[in-house]
Chain A
Amino acid sequence: MTDIKVIGILGAGRVGTALARRALAAGYEVRIASARAPSEIALMMDFVAPGAVPATTEQVIAESDMVLLALPLSKYRSLRPEAFAGKIAVDAMNYWPQTDGVLPEFEGAPVSSEVVADHLAGARLLRAFNHLGYHELDAEARPAGDPGRRALAIAGDDAAARADLAVVIDRMGFDPVDAGPLAQARAFAIGTPLFGAPLGRVEMQEALAGQQAA
């Protein structure tokens, strides 16, 4: 198990800044990059996620123990695979042709993360955070044991990386649920009953089992 201390976030939009707030609240150091220079997002971060350190994409990847991907899916090709060698990378991106436009390589792919994983070969790629709205990250975080605590699913082929992310998610205020290998992420993809549904840990486990059996 890796001792995660620094969380890196690529994308400083709605999802990226919400993840930054949760990670800071959980006691992690946070580095964050957008499409612009770090100096250009410094003021913004002071207000929306005070404490998160703006950096370049390269710095974020190099200096973090785990990198959360919260950029528009169409930008995934801008990520240099070599930079991710051996890194835990968590893909929060969704494929929404209605808003992103049609991206041919994602058409018909049951799990968009599999395409991202192929591109970032060498990364320990996980899928998480994609099945809830960004504002729910702020509004629905709860302490461990709270009966209303919401569950977040994790999929990925690297079991140790999944376990590391489970610790992070728990500290962020959600119940981690291990969905298994990356291919299982189809069970909580857009259009499934789990997507967007406010489920607790047990309900999530049951729903995943139901989807996976189907």
Chain B
Amino acid sequence: MELGVYSFGDVQRDTDGALGSTAQAQRNLLEAIRLADEVGLDYFGIGEHHTHEMPASAATVVLGAAASVTKNIILGSAVTVLSTDDPVRVYQQFATLDALSNGRAEITAGRGSSTESFPLFGHSLNDYDDLYAEKLDLLLKLNETPRITWEGRFRPALDDALVVPRPDRGHLPIWLATGGNPNSTVRAAVAGLPISYAIIGGPAERFGPLADLYRRAVEQVAHPNAQTRISVASPGFVGNDAQAAKDLWWKHYHEAFRALGEIRGFPAPQRAGFDRDANGGGALFVGSPEEIAERIVALHGVMGHDRHFFQMDLGQLPQKDFLGAIELLGTKVKPLVDAALAEKAPTSETV
């Protein structure tokens, strides 16, 4: 099982309590990715956002810098808001990242959890579904061939256009992200693409039937070049002491969702709901290394996922706490998960 982290580039609070520097947030991201690589984590994803609180608007630039100071970690988007970007540009940037990182770049395309990029880039939310479908189609075609002839509604036509650089390994992994609409699961399976489930509230195991649906649909379609993998993205935080980790993270989680709720018209989260989701089978993976390892393994029993990665820096979590949690995820949680899964699935030699 691959473990990792994702971030929207959470800013810090200044000493006077005001929201801090959006430039510093980019440097903090780079520091976090470097540490994640050092402690043996497998994946770091940056999710495109365009707000003061979450200013990770140009993920590939940060990932490109990370490529030169890391060795093994996979560098990806979580997610690229494809609907409001140009697939040609997205492909070029990630193919460049792939070149600089020696084959460690991945794209995760999704609708994204926020919609600031629509007015920013002059798109209408009323075209949401059509934009996403058209741009995904183009992105997937670009991954197949360097020369492309293509026509659509939202971008000028391409007539035998050359799109470079090309990844040395022939193609880039392109994942589809979904928040639980079952049709997205079918869509990924039919396209032969790996799928990334964002599980951000309620019981995590409710995604078990979707993972089963994905595998079954893949079987039925039997796509020739299928890259069928499943990942899970969920909020999470690791601290040495379970209760202290929950208490600390609750403050920041509350702050993040209180602020978001104010914009979107839903109430601030309550501690009781947080505690329900942050314990047992809930979607918030917050606790001690042992607890988080156990919960990842339990969810693996239901979903059989290949990768699990966590959004830790939310609501102006101090950078030192973010780094501490990354370190524990790599040094403590990962060995526990590896050991537990090795025990659960003995290889043919050991049977």
| Contacting residues, chain B, for A63 (C-beta < 8 A) | none
Quote the shortest CB–CB distance from B54 to chain A (angstroms).
15
CA distance A96 to B265 in the complex (A): 9
Q: Of A97, A196, A198, which contacts B266 at CB under 8 A?
A: A196
| Contacting residues, chain B, for A17 (C-beta < 8 A) | 182
Quote the shortest CB–CB distance from B258 to chain A (angstroms).
12
CA distance A103 to B125 in the complex (A): 10
Given A12-B183, A14-B181, A47-B212; A135-B266 close (CB under 8 Å): no
Given A138-B202, A196-B266, A198-B273; A47-B210 close (CB under 8 Å): yes
Q: Of A13, A103, A135, which contacts B181 at CB under 8 A?
A: A13
The answer to whether the Cβ of A118 comes within 8 Å of any Cβ in the partner chain is: no
Question: How does the 8 Å CB contact mask read for B56-97 relative to A, with 1 for contact and 0 for none?
Answer: 000000000000000000000000000000000000000000
Which interface class (under 10, 10 to 19, 20 to 34, 35 or more) fits A? 20 to 34
Quote the shortest CB–CB distance from A104 to chain B (angstroms).
11
CA distance A41 to B185 in the complex (A): 11
Q: Of B124, B179, B213, B273, which contacts A48 at CB under 8 A?
A: B213
Q: Of B201, B213, B265, which contacts A133 at CB under 8 A?
A: B201
A44 contacts B202, C-beta separation under 8 Å: no
A13 contacts B182, C-beta separation under 8 Å: yes
| Contacting residues, chain A, for B128 (C-beta < 8 A) | 99-101
Residues B194-238 near A (CB distance < 8 A):
201-203, 206, 209-210, 212-213, 216-217, 220
The answer to whether the Cβ of A193 comes within 8 Å of any Cβ in the partner chain is: yes
A48 contacts B210, C-beta separation under 8 Å: yes
B182 contacts A44, C-beta separation under 8 Å: yes
The answer to whether the Cβ of B145 comes within 8 Å of any Cβ in the partner chain is: no
| Contacting residues, chain A, for B266 (C-beta < 8 A) | 190, 195-196
| Contacting residues, chain B, for A12 (C-beta < 8 A) | 182-183
CA distance A136 to B282 in the complex (A): 12
CA distance A97 to B270 in the complex (A): 25
| Contacting residues, chain A, for B18 (C-beta < 8 A) | none
CA distance A197 to B267 in the complex (A): 7
Question: How does the 8 Å CB contact mask read for A90-109 relative to B, with 1 for contact and 0 for none?
Answer: 00000011111111000000
Q: Closest residue of chain B to A103, judged by CB? A: B126
A43 contacts B220, C-beta separation under 8 Å: yes
The answer to whether the Cβ of A74 comes within 8 Å of any Cβ in the partner chain is: yes
| Contacting residues, chain A, for B125 (C-beta < 8 A) | 97-102
Task: Report the 3 A-B pairs with minimum CB-CB distance, sorted nearest first.
Answer: A101-B125, A135-B202, A101-B126
